[in-house]
């Protein structure tokens, strides 16, 4: 009889530890992200979230254990080729020159910060850029220079840049950093639009705050001291008990629709 098969893994960490300068940044981590899953990594500063994201992006290697990204084991594969199938969104993008949004998105094809000298995109690549810029709601500013954009507009441009090469895995490193509430909500809506348009795309989003999780989030992992404290379906992991233990502070978790919120579980006191 036919059986339901799990989607293929796009990231598989087995007994992974990573040590730098004698300090264990990750310890005995096991985590599997499958095709079409949208993961959130949460934990306090220094918990190991960004280090895990570097492994997922093939920009770091484990000290012990195995890491397979898109079915290829780190240490036995051409890293440059592998990275072509991984989109990375970092709000600290170091661009300083006045490239337009369209040009910034094009740099996602070459994997560079600036446009490469003498490189010219194909007609198909230019069409892809225009489609993404329109999809993410920044077409009216497509030819405006980077230096004049708001932080929210830059965030959406960076998502377009990450998506232009049609990656199978999308990494978002605290994408809401520096955004006000309105810009944050626009960015989260943008992430939801991307997932709706490409349902097989897998993603991993790093954040400290549950309010910064898009409604398309399906799974979550809680990290503390370089270890995974809990991982699985978001509804099973993002509970008051587990989040409180992860952050070592009483935290109450509320869910409204597909969004989460958190506040201190301690009773407020009045100071006289």
Cβ–Cβ contacts within 10 Å for residue 75, how many? 10
Q: Residue 139's pLDDT is what? A: 94
CATH code, residues 1-85+168-263: 3.40.50.300
Q: Residue 272's pLDDT is what? A: 39
CATH code, residues 95-166: 1.10.8
Supply the DSSP symbol for 100. Answer: B
Supply the DSSP symbol for 222. Answer: E
Q: What is the pLDDT of residues 118-161, one digit of tens each?
A: 889 999 999 999 999 999 999 999 999 999 999 999 999 999 99
Strand ranges of the sheet holding 38-42, from the earlier edge strand across to the other edge: 86-89, 169-173, 202-207, 38-42, 219-224, 227-233
Residue ranges in the chain modelled with pLDDT below 70? 1-4, 265-272
Q: Residue 269's pLDDT is what? A: 42
Instruction: Show Cβ contacts of residue 252 under 8 Å, excluding neighbours closer than 6 positions.
Output: 240, 262, 263, 264, 265
Domain ranges of the chain: 1-85+168-263, 95-166
């Amino acid at each position: 009889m036919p059986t339901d098969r799990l989607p293929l893994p796009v990231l598989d960490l087995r007994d992974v530890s990573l040590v730098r300068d004698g300090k264990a940044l990750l310890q005995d981590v096991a985590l599997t992200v499958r095709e079409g899953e949208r993961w959130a990594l949460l934990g306090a500063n220094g918990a190991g979230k960004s280090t895990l994201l570097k492994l997922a992006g093939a920009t770091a290697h484990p000290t012990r254990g195995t890491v397979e990204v898109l079915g290829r084991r780190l240490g036995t594969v051409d890293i440059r080729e592998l990275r072509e199938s991984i989109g990375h969104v970092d709000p600290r993008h170091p661009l300083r020159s006045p490239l337009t949004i369209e040009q910034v998105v094009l740099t996602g094809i070459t994997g560079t910060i600036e446009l490469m000298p003498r490189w010219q995109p194909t007609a198909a690549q230019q069409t892809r850029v225009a489609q993404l810029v329109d999809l993410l709601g920044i077409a009216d500013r497509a030819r405006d220079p980077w230096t004049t954009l708001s932080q929210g507009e830059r965030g959406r441009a960076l998502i377009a840049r990450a998506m232009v090469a049609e990656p199978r895995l999308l990494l978002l490193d605290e994408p809401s950093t520096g955004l006000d509430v309105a810009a944050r909500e626009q960015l989260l809506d943008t992430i939801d639009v991307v997932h709706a348009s490409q349902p097989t795309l897998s993603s991993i989003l790093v954040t400290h705050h549950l309010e910064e999780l898009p409604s398309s989030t399906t799974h979550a992992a809680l990290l503390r001291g370089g270890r995974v404290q809990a991982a699985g379906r978001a509804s099973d992991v993002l509970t008051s008990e587990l989040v409180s233990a992860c952050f070592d502070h009483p935290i109450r978790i509320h869910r409204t629709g597909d969004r989460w919120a958190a506040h201190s579980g301690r009773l407020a006191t009045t100071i006289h």
